[in-house]
Structure 1
Amino acid sequence: MKIRNPITLLLLPFLLTGCVRTTVAPLPVAESLHVSLGNPTSARADTTEADNYLILRDQYALSCNRSLGHANWVSWELSSEWLGDANRQDDFRPDPDLPTGWYRVRPDDYTGSGFDRGHLCPSASRTASESDNSATFLMCNMIPQAPQLNREAWARLEDYCRSLAVKNYRLFIVAGSYGVGGKGSKGFATSINGRVHVPGRNYKVIVAVENSGSAAQIDGETPVIAVDFPNDADLVDNKSWSSFVTTPGDIERAAGVTFFTYLPEEVRNKLREVRFDPTTTTLGYGDVRFQE
């Protein structure tokens, strides 16, 4: 899939004061379509950034953390163009794009840990081609997740996002984690195999633009969904994802990230305080289960 020019997706705002036009400093230009709304940790493709190393792929963007053994966050655009008939590739493998000398997490590092290799950018959201799907199985796109989270509420939220894409929405999504220690099927752990940090929380923030619109159409009324899950088998088992709805601002404060930095300040401030309400949303929710 060819990536469209991200510059066309960004606003170039101007402020008109009376008859005099004052130029406002232009917004940053996104490094990729997948970070059209911002780079949550100002990650850079610089080998000195060992805990905040930016990788840009055709399918998604991410900030990789050498110390943690997984991504700080993964960000991607989702529209119907990404959905097709490609089969799930299941080719989990070390990430070849990490700097020389970094440990490359292997699929078998998770074996017997009690935690799933949980996708951040979902496999089922990259089915336009086999190569797109395969890219989601690189280990930097995995996070240790309690099975009850990965296979239940997290999966249903992924399904909901795809249902919106099919309805001709364009979504801008970022998923990540923070905190120390989670509870999988074998109990509490802070790391896997001494290589991979286990986070205490997994979050996702979703901005939905109607009719496959661009980032330039986002305003303070654009629907936003922010969900912050405990990575704990007991706390998430048989729970709806709506049980964990919060605001983007709350996640920012807890995780030490900043969302929407490539949007105008007024829009950014409004979106940070949005709390999604499934009973009143204009997005609709079809067959998605909101109630326990």
Structure 2
Amino acid sequence: MAKKRTSSKNVFTQLLGQNGLKIVLGLVASGSFVIAFGQEKISQWISLPSSSSSSSVCAEQFYKDIPPFIAKEALSKNTYPLCFNGFNVMYSGVSKTPLWVAEALTPQRLSQKIPRKDSFHEELKVPSAYRATLADYRASGYDRGHMAPNADMPTKAAQADSFSLANMVPQSPKNNQQVWRELEEATRAIVTKQKHDVYVVTGPTFTGKKLKTIGDNKVIVPTSVFKAIYIPKTGAIGAYYAPNDNSLKVKVVSICYLEEQLGMNIFPQLTEEQKRNIYKLPLNANSVKVHQEIPYGNWDAESQCAEDVSKDQLLALQKKFKTDGLSQSSNNSESSQSGMDQSTLDAIVKQLVEALLQYILQLLR
């Protein structure tokens, strides 16, 4: 006697009857899971524009809303002004690092404690030809050194932005992990202990004829790193300047000294007299005392300060940074997604699919 065939439709009906509720619940739950999982994973590769970003928010990171001004023409080649959550960057497509990173630190901002969550990623707002990649840093012997520190960030969005390679330079391990960490802690201590607003400009210097590079994209290794600070309430001003090596050396210099090394005007809003002052900036957080202002050090009469910038030039720069910095986020969002490496896309899709299947199987058991 011939066996009665069970149609695929009947099998599906039986399965649906037996597991229908689980399947429906599984699909609903897993759909929500994938959305959350996908957003977290994708955010590691894509720095999405924030709805809170605006020209005024960008400008707030600069003292009196004016960015540093690049005086050396060679430095201006292939530059990209980028407005992030909590900091701004002038990125160089030549060095494939920032030229400067600006932050406005306030007691309120630093009262927000965000647990660190690493999410190093390429900056897709920058064209691929001018972009540093994670592979460039891998096994290079250099750290991915934050210029705007993760610990300065007041929100998760700002923290995610801080892990963009547009905010990184190849930094010597001891310089990054010891000297620079202590200087970052000292800067935050000025804000939190003495309740001062502090304007900070941080970045690399490239001096000498033969500069080392890392990776296939030839990311240029800085010869030194700097952190310039200005405290409007007290007038205290100066800059940390450290060779990018494992010597653990660091010195405090004037803004004029720094401008001479860099070929840019760090604080165009300030007078030459102000920028020649050198205050005794603390080298670690323990040196910052609650009721003791930063003492005056000396006057730099030797360094060549940057030339004054005309009002028209400053207004043009301010407008350009606001316009270009914001348009990088919106105009390049589509091209950034399409320009993502295929291997990155494949990895994201694979992880999402595997997570979805595993989640459904767990629900059906």
Question: With structure 2 as the length reference, what TM-score do the two structures score?
Answer: 0.57
Classify 1:259/1:180 alpha carbon distance in 2 versus 1 (closer, same or farther; 3 Å): closer
Report the 3-state secondary structure (helix = DSSP H, G, I; strand = E; otherwise coil) of the residue aligned with 1:34.
coil
Classify 1:275/1:138 alpha carbon distance in 2 versus 1 (closer, same or farther; 3 Å): same
**2:199 aligned to 172, 194, 204, which one?**
172
Pairwise mapping of residues 239-254 of structure 1 onto structure 2 (< 5 A)? Answer: 239=249, 243-254=250-261
| Contact 2:201–2:228 under 8 Å retained in 1 | yes
Classify 1:35/1:102 alpha carbon distance in 2 versus 1 (closer, same or farther; 3 Å): farther
1:192 corresponds in structure 2 to: 214
| Contact 1:178–1:199 under 8 Å retained in 2 | yes
Report deviation, 1:278.
Answer: 4.8
Once residues 253 and 167 of structure 2 are traced to their aligned partners in structure 1, the CA distance between those partners, rounded to angstroms, is 24
| Contact 1:205–1:227 under 8 Å retained in 2 | yes
1:134 corresponds in structure 2 to: 160
Listed as ranges, the gaps of 5+ residues in structure 2 are 1-49, 291-365
Report deviation, 1:119.
Answer: 0.3
**1:73 aligned to 96, 100, 120, which one?**
100
Classify 1:5/1:271 alpha carbon distance in 2 versus 1 (closer, same or farther; 3 Å): farther
2:31 corresponds in structure 1 to: none
Once residues 90 and 50 of structure 1 are traced to their aligned partners in structure 2, the CA distance between those partners, rounded to angstroms, is 31
**1:39 aligned to 67, 89, 93, which one?**
67
Question: Runs of 4 or more off by more than 4 Å in structure 1?
Answer: 1-6
Aligned length: 228
**Larger strand proportion, structure 1 or 2?**
1
Report deviation, 1:203.
Answer: 0.8
Once residues 279 and 107 of structure 2 are traced to their aligned partners in structure 1, the CA distance between those partners, rounded to angstroms, is 23
**1:58 aligned to 61, 85, 100, which one?**
85
**2:109 aligned to 59, 65, 82, which one?**
82
Report deviation, 1:31.
Answer: 6.0
Listed as ranges, the gaps of 5+ residues in structure 1 are 7-29, 44-48, 182-187, 211-220, 288-292
Pairing 1:118–2:156 present:
no
Which amino acid in the other structure matches residue 188 of structure 2?
A: R
1:223 corresponds in structure 2 to: 236
Structure number with higher relative contact order (C-alpha < 8 Å, ≥ 6 residues apart): 2
2:272 corresponds in structure 1 to: 269
Once residues 130 and 55 of structure 2 are traced to their aligned partners in structure 1, the CA distance between those partners, rounded to angstroms, is 33
Aligned residues: percent identity? 23
| Contact 2:135–2:215 under 8 Å retained in 1 | no
| Contact 1:53–1:64 under 8 Å retained in 2 | yes
| Contact 2:230–2:237 under 8 Å retained in 1 | yes
Pairing 1:204–2:227 present:
yes
Report the 3-state secondary structure (helix = DSSP H, G, I; strand = E; otherwise coil) of the residue aligned with 2:256.
helix
Report the 3-state secondary structure (helix = DSSP H, G, I; strand = E; otherwise coil) of the residue aligned with 2:102.
strand
Tell me which structure has the larger Cα radius of gyration.
Answer: 2
- Give a deviation string over 1:265-286, Cα, whole Å, max 9, x none: xx4212211112258xxxx614
| Contact 2:225–2:242 under 8 Å retained in 1 | yes
Report the 3-state secondary structure (helix = DSSP H, G, I; strand = E; otherwise coil) of the residue aligned with 1:209.
coil
**Larger helix proportion, structure 1 or 2?**
2
2:358 corresponds in structure 1 to: none
Pairing 1:145–2:158 present:
no
Report deviation, 1:4.
Answer: 9.5
Report deviation, 1:51.
Answer: 3.0
Classify 1:189/1:4 alpha carbon distance in 2 versus 1 (closer, same or farther; 3 Å): closer
Report deviation, 1:244.
Answer: 0.8
Classify 1:189/1:278 alpha carbon distance in 2 versus 1 (closer, same or farther; 3 Å): closer
Once residues 101 and 191 of structure 1 are traced to their aligned partners in structure 2, the CA distance between those partners, rounded to angstroms, is 18
Which amino acid in the other structure matches residue 172 of structure 1?
A: Y
Report deviation, 1:3.
Answer: 7.5
Report deviation, 1:139.
Answer: 0.4
Once residues 176 and 288 of structure 2 are traced to their aligned partners in structure 1, the CA distance between those partners, rounded to angstroms, is 20
Classify 1:3/1:172 alpha carbon distance in 2 versus 1 (closer, same or farther; 3 Å): farther
Once residues 254 and 260 of structure 1 are traced to their aligned partners in structure 2, the CA distance between those partners, rounded to angstroms, is 14
